[in-house]
Amino acid sequence: MLIFAGLGNPGAKYAGNRHNIGFMALDRIASDHGFGPWKARFQGQTAEGRLGDASVLLLKPGTFMNLSGQSVGEAMRFFKLEAPDITVFHDEIDLVPGKLRVKDGGGHAGHNGLRSIHQHIGPHYSRVRMGVGHPGHKDAVPGYVLHDFAKVDQDWLEDVLRGCSDGAPYLAAGDGGRFQNAVALRTAPPRSSGGGAGKAVKAGKPEKGSAPVPQPRPQTEPQPQPQTEPKDTRSALQKLADRFR
């Protein structure tokens, strides 16, 4: 059994907040991978299902952000798990919007939800740090994260959530690299190389890392051939006779 815990605040008032991106990620995973219905349990909401070969409990603490560790700790102890069996999805102001990083262990960096989890289970759990950007000044952070995502954020937010769902089986298998790649394929898909949709390449200057572009050979005018006189095949007697004609 693994636990994926998403951080946020309960209730419709907070549902669209930047602080609730962890809840959003778990909702998408549950929906896309056929998890069971959400049930009240462990001071929060839980859903059970499978990701690849792993049995996973999705947990959204209902204790409000600052007390998230109470819910996570209770679930961990019930299933007799260790901190490395827990992965926490949370908002990260030190990453730009749309960026995502997986981290094993470490400090809480002032995040109140992580701080609470540290207090209840220690620091040795995994985190999925989901970038939401920084307001520019530390005094503005509380109001910023407790504000809804703007309309202009919806496209990249949708891509990140879909990527988290795509990569969830890799994360459950312990492959954080492939999980991050799955998210990257949604947020920064590779450019098409056909139909002229890609970047144009100037003649004679291929893009770095690409094969050289063959150049047409220059057309040249045919060169005139020197004129040569026909070979004289007359006999000496005939030549002498021709001189006196």
pTM of the full predicted structure?
A: 0.78
Task: Give the residue from 101, 100, 103, 91 showing the smallest Cα distance to 132.
Answer: 91
19 is catalytic: yes
Judge whether 81 lies within some domain.
Answer: yes
Judge whether 179 lies within some domain.
Answer: yes
Residue 240 neighbours by CB distance under 10 Å: 10
Q: What is the CATH number of the domain that holds 150?
A: 3.40.50.1470
Judge whether 90 lies within some domain.
Answer: yes
Q: What is the largest CA-CA distance in the chain?
A: 133
Total domain count, the chain:
1
Q: Quote the pLDDT of residue 189.
A: 82
Which is catalytic among the residues 19, 33, 90, 111? 19
Judge whether 178 lies within some domain.
Answer: yes
Q: Quote the pLDDT of residue 27.
A: 98
Confidence of residue 94 (pLDDT cuts 50, 70, 90): very high
Q: What is the dihedral of CA 133, 137, 138, 143, to 10 degrees?
A: -70
Judge whether 132 lies within some domain.
Answer: yes
Judge whether 142 lies within some domain.
Answer: yes
Determine the residue type at 154: Q
Residue 163 neighbours by CB distance under 10 Å: 24
Q: Quote the pLDDT of residue 190.
A: 78
Counting Cα atoms < 13 Å in the Cβ hemisphere of 2 gives 23
Judge whether 12 lies within some domain.
Answer: yes
Which pLDDT tens digit goes with each residue over 229-245?
555 666 666 666 566 55
Decide if 183 contacts 177 (C-beta within 8 A). Answer: no
d(CA 190, CA 68): 38
Q: 43: domain range?
A: 2-187
Judge whether 202 lies within some domain.
Answer: no
